[in-house]
Structure 1
């Protein structure tokens, strides 16, 4: 093993240098390659494949080196979490209002809309799930959107700006836009 190691040592070192920018880590990695090769030489199938075997060990050791590195710095504790954007808060409130209104829709429209919009199914998957043709599923989803929009605009007034919905409030004191 020592004779083969000496024959490949400098080329392995050059290979490691080409992959790792930190020169102080190169010799540590090379030593780790030697240790792994020495302890695993029983896995070597033939001496003719010694070079490729050593390079494979070197490659894996380099990958282990990078996995152990933290590519980021920990943020200090005094930094606060970002404040949720006001339009995002309005949007979140608006989404909470939709579920009760969706529940009022007939199952024929509510189920396809829920699968498509809330559960993230494609329209084709909705059709398969509900045993409908693709055309029927698309039609029901579209009709459900229209019915939901009608119910929502009957319930709440919506203010729309450049970034989307900016505010909403109940139209009728009997019915609320909040859950």
Structure 2
């Protein structure tokens, strides 16, 4: 596996087999393939970068302990997201509610990235776009948890409805409905920005 290239399916199968045999380095390589997406997903679920990083460590530990339950290398991503989802839900249940200003933490949800100003963008347009993205991030954070997680997995992580269904443990029709409701709510809330 050369430096920055993504491994092919055969290499991933080999890494999974080695990891399941106890090879920690192979497991680490598998996690690196998904770490950015998992971190963004945890941020979107928890609304906090620091909490997401802590929970992600629990995800890694849980994945290592449950590695024998991974049935195929093709299911690795879905399997990791399912573990992450469960860890986030557990963390949310234990969390003491605290006020959270979404504007104070840089890219707190991880669900709607704020891009830097482009050299061709007019400063006023950049400022408006940034405020719109902050509003969108806030509205995503206000969605019911089941809608938010499904919307983030579809719109940000570009997973299929079938994969999302596996991750959240609900039928595809339920996932489609949640995403549709989330899209409708977000479209209504973002109406002033059109």
User: Under TM normalisation by the shorter chain, which class is it?
Assistant: 0.3 to 0.5
Scaled by the length of structure 1, the TM-score of the pair is 0.38
The structure that is strand-richer by fraction is: 1
Tell me: higher relative CO, structure 1 or 2? Use CA pairs within 8 A at least 6 residues apart: 2
Higher alpha-carbon Rg? 1
TM-score, structure 2 as length reference: 0.36
